[in-house]
């Protein structure tokens, strides 16, 4: 008999060794001081330890909970190759009405289109000829965009280094993101929201720029001559009549006259608009023209004027600002944004980026020791980049991110290899984040944060403490009950129960699963259900002993009779846990994972381990009774 049990002993010993090996890094990590963690982090060894520990979820470790909503109206607008004020007005009205949760954007948009009588095929000819075909195609594009946003955000967060993030859809156009243990919330927020639309535009030369500025001054001056210096007429939109409204100089610079007082501006605003309505806001700075930070609002209002838009469209150009404000010299406190006059259409877009790496500039270059992002383009991008740089040597090309000029270097020579470099980052983290975004891809639609919660680590510590107490109280109660009610056999069941918890935690560590509060609830439930199999077996053994069978015969018969019942009961629970895991979301998946492995392992410990112990006990000597 003893020789027959040897394979069982080997299996139990191997599993026990594996469990201890799997849980040892978690024990090390939990008992490690913060100073020791910092030492390992510097040496690069901490990441290896963290990769083998039981991860803690947002509710235990603290972190960020963010709900993002895709800007579907903006996506629909961007999908139109041809746009005008009529279409934009319909989209804007549908967006405003769809702010009501009971109204769907596409339903309202379709109703507005029918009411206005506009032909969508004029704007979306690529998606069909009929209204029904176009609306179906736009809805499919929106669904596809959400799925792409989900995938891109997953790629970004994975590269950001957050352990076990939860990213999932909520409804049709919303995405829930849970980032456990996040330290830099501002950086994570920017990483999630950034559309990262990378474009390369040629900068128009000085002569062309001066010419368009003069044209804009003349157009705005002519318009001002027809009204008072402080008033501007608004144009009627094609789709509806609007009342005449006036835009005063003070409104351009803020909501009140106090924002544009003489103390705030060096020149009289009325004179600016009378003589140089556009160029009066510009200031010459080294290498470029600029706009004072306080005048940005006025400048953007001027760009919205119909006369300005008409001139820019005819000239096939656009004005864009630099990403950040800067001072003209170290001694000045006034900040300026650089202003660039660019071609209307980009030469290249971010879709051609094949690889993006953040590093420090090499020695011998102008960016030695400074953070840079090195780009490698695909074959199509390389050919275009070679053609653009070869045909425009001596000209400037602007690298534009999300409609802001990051830098505008001069093209020194033809670049045939499809490689370029972006400079001008504040720190290496900013460069790394841009590289992450470019590698993961640009979001197909802008996303807005509509809900955000930050869970503090102290709240997570309380959850861990209370959850641990609940597990211990439940465990001790069950252990005592089994000892009192089943005596020596209860000791065997208690041993199997402790084994069960040990193995469940080892599986979680091996799978790099995340333990959450629902997961702790699943662990507590596992404690009760895993002992249930032993109760069934022991009651069957008691029945066999009452029939007068020997302990060995009673044990064999008890296990054989209980096996079918145990399998039936546990398989149904396993099926339920698999359904919860498949169709549930974050917390529910955590509960289902722990429950699934807890039930599976409880069958192993109850049927295999306890029977091995009983068989070893009855095989050592002849016994006439069994303490059960």
Closest CA to 168 of 156, 178, 160, 158: 178
Q: Is the pLDDT of residue 246 over 70?
A: no
Candidates 334, 311, 312, 338; CA nearest to 324 is 338
Q: Which of 389, 347, 354 is nearest to 374 (CA)?
A: 354
pLDDT at site 158: 63
Between 329 and 115, where is the model more confident? 115
pLDDT at 356: 77
Using N-to-C axis directions, what is the helix angle for 610-620 and 457-510, rounded to 10°? 60
Q: How confident is the model at residue 292 (pLDDT cuts 50, 70, 90)?
A: confident
Convert 122-187 into a string of H (helix), E (strand) and C (coil). HCCHHHCCCHHHHHHHHHHHHHHHHHHHHHHHHHHHHHHCCCCCEEEEECCCEEEEEEECCCCHHH
Is residue 593 within 8 Å of 513, Cβ to Cβ? yes
Measured CA to CA, the distance from residue 523 to residue 576 in angstroms comes to: 16
Task: Decide which of 268 and 164 is more confident.
Answer: 164
User: Under a CB-based contact definition with an 8 Å cutoff, are residues 175 and 150 in contact?
Assistant: yes
Residue 561, exposed/middle/buried by CB under 10 A (0-12, 13-18, 19+)?
middle
**CA–CA distance, 234 with 237 (Å, rounded to integer):** 9
Higher-pLDDT residue of 14 and 375 is: 14
Distance CA 538, CA 550 (A): 15
Considering the chain, what percentage of its residues have pLDDT values greater than 70? 80
Classify burial at 136, counting beta carbons within 10 Å of its beta carbon; exposed 0-12, middle 13-18, buried 19 or more.
middle
Please identify which residue in the block is written with the tokens 């993961």.
Answer: 440
- Looking at domain 458-620, its CATH class is mainly alpha
Is the distance from CB of 72 to CB of 142 less than 8 angstroms?
yes
Strand partners, 374: 357, 421
Amino acid 14: pLDDT: 92
Mean pLDDT to the nearest integer, 404-415:
79
Q: 452, 454, 449: which is closest to 62 by C-alpha? A: 454
Q: Token digits for 427?
A: 């720190």
Mean pLDDT of 274-279: 70
pLDDT in tens, 475-491: 888 889 888 888 888 88
pLDDT score recorded for residue 18: 92
CA distance 106 to 98: 9
Q: How much is the mean pLDDT over the chain?
A: 77
Task: Say whether pTM exceeds 0.75.
Answer: no
What class has domain 63-193+447-455? alpha beta
Would you say 405 and 323 are in contact if contact means Cβ atoms under 8 Å apart? yes
Mean pLDDT, rounded, for 602-609:
87
Q: Which residue shows structure tokens 């405003």?
A: 96
Residues with Cβ < 8 Å from 129, sequence gap 6 or more? 121
What number is the average pLDDT over the span 63-71? 83
Q: Burial letters for 373-390: b for 16+ Cβ neighbours within 10 Å, e otherwise?
A: bbbbbeeebbebbbebbe
Query: Rounded CA gap, 227 and 363, in Å?
Result: 60
Label residue 241 by pLDDT band (50, 70, 90): very low
**Whether the predicted pLDDT of 243 surpasses 60:** no
**Enclosing H/E stretch for 406:** strand 404-407
**For range 233-237, the mean pLDDT:** 41
For residue 458, what pLDDT is reported?
66
Q: Closest Cα to residue 399, out of 367, 373, 426, 364?
A: 373
Q: At what angle do helices 586-604 and 457-510 cross, to 10 degrees?
A: 40
For the chain, domain boundaries: 63-193+447-455, 200-424, 458-620
Confidence tier at 257 by pLDDT (50, 70, 90): very low
Confidence at residue 459, expressed as pLDDT on a 0 to 100 scale: 63
What are the φ and ψ backbone dihedral angles of 69, each rounded to 5 degrees? -125, 130
pLDDT at 109 over 50: yes
| Per-residue model confidence as pLDDT tens digits over 538-552 | 889 888 888 888 888
CA 265, 266, 270, 273 torsion: positive or negative?
A: negative
Residue 560's Cβ-count burial label (10 Å; 0-12, 13-18, 19+) is exposed
What is the tens place of the pLDDT at every residue in 324-370?
777 766 566 778 888 888 888 888 776 677 777 878 877 666 566 77
CA-CA distance, 557 to 563, in Å (whole number)? 10
Comparing 195 with 503, the larger pLDDT belongs to 503
In this predicted model, which residue has the larger pLDDT, 177 or 364? 177
Which of helix, strand or coil describes residue 400?
Answer: strand
More confident residue, 220 or 292: 292
């Amino acid at each position: 008999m003893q020789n027959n049990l040897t394979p069982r002993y080997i299996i139990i010993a191997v599993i026990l060794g594996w469990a201890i090996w799997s849980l040892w890094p978690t024990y090390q990590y939990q008992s490690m001081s913060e100073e020791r963690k910092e030492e390992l982090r510097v040496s690069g060894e901490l990441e290896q330890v963290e990769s083998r520990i039981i991860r803690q979820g947002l509710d235990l470790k603290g972190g960020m909970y963010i709900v993002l909503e895709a800007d579907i109206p903006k996506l629909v607008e961007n999908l139109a190759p041809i746009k005008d004020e009529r279409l934009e007005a319909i989209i804007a009205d549908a967006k405003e009405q769809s702010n009501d949760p009971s109204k769907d954007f596409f339903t309202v948009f379709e109703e507005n289109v029918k009411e206005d009588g506009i032909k969508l095929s004029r704007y979306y000819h690529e998606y069909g000829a009929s209204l029904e075909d176009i609306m179906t195609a736009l809805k499919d594009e929106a669904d596809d965009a959400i799925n792409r946003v989900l995938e891109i955000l997953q790629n970004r967060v994975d590269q950001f280094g957050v352990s076990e993030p939860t990213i999932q859809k909520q409804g049709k156009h919303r995405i829930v993101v849970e980032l456990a243990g996040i330290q830099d919330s501002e950086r994570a927020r920017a990483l999630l929201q950034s559309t990262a639309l990378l474009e390369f535009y040629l900068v128009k030369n000085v002569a062309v720029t001066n010419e368009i500025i003069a044209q804009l001054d003349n157009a705005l001056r002519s318009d001002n001559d027809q009204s008072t210096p402080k008033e501007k007429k608004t144009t009627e939109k094609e789709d509806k009549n609007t009342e005449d409204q006036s835009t005063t100089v003070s409104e351009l610079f803020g909501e009140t006259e106090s924002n544009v007082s003489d103390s705030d501006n060096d020149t009289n605003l009325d004179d600016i608009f009378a003589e140089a309505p556009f160029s009066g806001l510009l200031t010459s700075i080294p290498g470029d023209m600029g706009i004072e930070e306080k005048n940005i609002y006025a400048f953007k209002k001027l760009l919205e004027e119909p006369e300005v838009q008409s001139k820019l469209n005819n000239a096939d150009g656009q004005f864009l600002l630099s990403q950040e404000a800067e001072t003209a010299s170290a001694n000045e406190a006034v900040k300026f944004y650089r202003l660039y006059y660019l071609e209307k259409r980009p030469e290249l877009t971010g879709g051609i980026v094949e690889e993006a790496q953040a590093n420090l500039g090499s020695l011998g270059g102008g960016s030695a020791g400074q953070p840079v992002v090195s780009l490698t383009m695909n074959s199509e991008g390389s050919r275009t980049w070679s053609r653009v740089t070869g045909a425009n040597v001596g000209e400037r090309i602007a690298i534009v991110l999300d409609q802001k000029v990051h830098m505008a270097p001069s093209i020194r020579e033809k670049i045939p290899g499809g490689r370029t470099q972006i400079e001008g980052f504040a720190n290496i983290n900013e460069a790394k984040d841009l590289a992450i975004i470019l590698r993961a891809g640009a979001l197909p639609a802008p996303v807005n944060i509509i809900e955000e919660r930050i869970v503090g680590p102290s709240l997570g510590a309380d959850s861990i403490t209370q959850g641990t107490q609940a597990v211990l109280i439940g465990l001790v109660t069950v252990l005592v009950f089994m000892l009192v009610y089943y005596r020596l056999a209860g000791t065997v069941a208690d041993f199997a129960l402790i084994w069960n918890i040990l193995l469940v935690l080892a599986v979680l560590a091996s799978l790099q699963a995340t333990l959450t509060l629902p997961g702790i609830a699943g662990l507590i439930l596992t404690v009760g259900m895993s002992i249930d199999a032993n109760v069934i077996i022991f009651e069957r053994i008691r029945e066999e002993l009452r029939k007068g069978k020997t302990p060995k015969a009673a044990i064999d018969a008890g296990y054989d009779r209980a096996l079918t019942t145990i399998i039936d009961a546990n398989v149904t629970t396993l099926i339920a846990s698999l359904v919860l895991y498949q169709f549930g979301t974050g917390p529910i998946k955590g509960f289902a994972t722990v429950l699934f492995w807890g039930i599976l392992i409880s069958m192993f410990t109850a049927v295999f381990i306890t029977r091995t112990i009983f068989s070893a006990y009855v095989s050592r000597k002849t016994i006439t009774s069994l303490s059960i």
